[in-house]
A and B are shown apart, each in its own frame.
Chain A
Amino acid sequence: MEKYLDILEIAIYGSAVALILIGLYGALTKKSLIKIVLGLSIMDSGIHLMMIALGYLKGGTAPIFSKGFENSADQMVDPIPQALVLTAIVIGFGVTAVALSLVIRLYRHHDTLRIDEIKNLKW
Chain B
Amino acid sequence: MKKYIVLGLLAVLGYYLMSIFLLVDFGLPHFAHGVKDVYLSSSKNILKVSNAVTAIVVNFRGFDTLGEVTVLFLSATAMSGILYKKRHDIGERSILFPASSIIRSGAKMLFPSITLLGIYVFIHGHLSPGGGFQGGTIIATGFLLMLLTYQNYSVSHNRLVWVESVAGMLFVIIGLAGYFMKGSFLENVLPVGELNDLFSGGVIGIIYVLVGFKVAAELIGIIYTILHEKG
Q: Is A–B contact present in the complex under a CB 8 A cutoff?
A: yes
- Asked if B24 is at the interface of the complex by the 8 Å CB criterion, the answer is yes
Q: In the complex, which residue of chain A has the Cβ closest to the Cβ of B25?
A: A9
Q: Name A80's contact: one of B56, B127, B222 (CB within 8 Å).
A: B56
Query: What sequence of 0s and 1s flags, for each residue 42-69 of chain A, a beta carbon within 8 Å of any chain B beta carbon?
Result: 0000000010011011100011111100
Chain B nearest Cβ from A51, distance in angstroms: 11
Please name all residues of chain A whose beta carbon is closer than 8 Å to the beta carbon of B72 when the two chains form the complex: 90-91, 94
- Asked if A5 is at the interface of the complex by the 8 Å CB criterion, the answer is yes
Q: Given the complex of chains A and B, what is the CA–CA distance between A78 and B27 in angstroms?
A: 11
Q: Given the complex of chains A and B, what is the CA–CA distance between A16 and B21 in angstroms?
A: 10
Q: Name A86's contact: one of B39, B44, B57, B82 (CB within 8 Å).
A: B57
Please name all residues of chain A whose beta carbon is closer than 8 Å to the beta carbon of B2 when the two chains form the complex: 29, 123
Please name all residues of chain B whose beta carbon is closer than 8 Å to the beta carbon of A102 when the two chains form the complex: 82
- Residue pairs across A and B with CB atoms within 8 Å: the count is 141
A contact residues, total (Cβ < 8 Å) = 53
Please name all residues of chain A whose beta carbon is closer than 8 Å to the beta carbon of B64 when the two chains form the complex: 87
Contact A73 B40 (CB under 8 A): yes
Q: In the complex, which residue of chain B has the Cβ closest to the Cβ of A20?
A: B17
- Asked if A115 is at the interface of the complex by the 8 Å CB criterion, the answer is no
Main secondary structure of the interface of A (DSSP, over half): helix
Query: What sequence of 0s and 1s flags, for each residue 165-195 of chain B, a beta carbon within 8 Å of any chain A beta carbon?
Result: 0000000000000000000000000000001
B contact residues, total (Cβ < 8 Å) = 58
CB-CB under 8 A for A101 and B226, given A66-B50, A73-B41, A83-B53: yes
- Asked if B215 is at the interface of the complex by the 8 Å CB criterion, the answer is yes
Residue numbers of B with Cβ under 8 A of A are: 2-3, 6-7, 10, 13-14, 17-18, 21-22, 24-29, 35-37, 39-41, 43-44, 50-53, 56-57, 61, 64-65, 68, 71-72, 74-76, 78-79, 82-83, 127-129, 133, 137, 195-196, 215, 219, 222, 225-226, 229, 231
Q: Which 5 A-B pairs have the closest CB atoms?
A: A9-B26, A94-B75, A58-B27, A63-B52, A83-B56
